[in-house]
Copies of this chain bind each other. A is one copy, B any other.
Amino acid sequence: MAMSEESGSAKTAIKMIQEAGARATAARLTVLRILLSADHALTHSDVEQAASAAGDLIERVTLYRVLEWLVDQGVAHKTLGLDRVWRFNAHHEAISNHAHFNCTDCGRVYCMESLNPVFAITLPPHFQLQQADVSLQGLCPCCTD
């Protein structure tokens, strides 16, 4: 209901889910469309509000499970904000070792997909590195005077 206009992102969302070989339920489509159209990482309640604003009510637990599922499928990924809240981001290609920008004013978290930081570190003995992420803090475009 009330979701047939934005066919562009909807098609992408359906395609992404079906490529994962899973059921394209209403909740998954709604959440994925919302994530894909956001310019920053969204919290659980961000998604919940965006969904209800669009007329698609999603149950609390369902939303948690959908978000976790999207991450498991590799369709989305999550980051911890400084407020201990997970934020989710859908991406079109697999990405790793990228940076997240935390706005110290509004709290928004931006996923810098195209930003592949190059850094050189040497770990102490007996530490085995598997992955590295960069957390940036500062002011986002809508919070800079």
Q: Which of A90-115 contact B (CB under 8 A)?
A: 99, 101, 104, 110, 112, 115
Q: B residues within 8 A CB of A118?
A: 119-121
Stretch with Cβ within 8 A of B (4 or more), from A10-18, A41-49, A54-62, A123-131: A123-131
A38 within 8 A of B: no
Number of residues on chain A facing chain B (CB within 8 A): 36
| Known contacts A80-B84, A134-B134; is-contact A121 B128 (Cβ 8 Å) | no
Which of A99, A115, A119, A127 has its CB near the most chain B CB atoms (within 10 A)? A127
Q: B residues within 8 A CB of A138?
A: 127-131
Contact A132 B125 (CB under 8 A): no
Expressed in whole angstroms, the Cα–Cα distance for A131 and B137 within the complex equals 5
Question: Interface on chain A toward B: helix, strand, loop, or mixed SS?
Answer: strand
Q: Which of B115, B120, B144 contacts A126 (CB 8 A)?
A: B144
Q: List 9 A-B contacts (CB under 8 A).
A: A80-B80, A115-B121, A115-B122, A123-B136, A129-B137, A130-B138, A131-B138, A133-B136, A134-B134
Known: A101-B127, A115-B123, A128-B144. 4 other contacts (CB 8 A): A80-B80, A104-B130, A117-B120, A132-B136
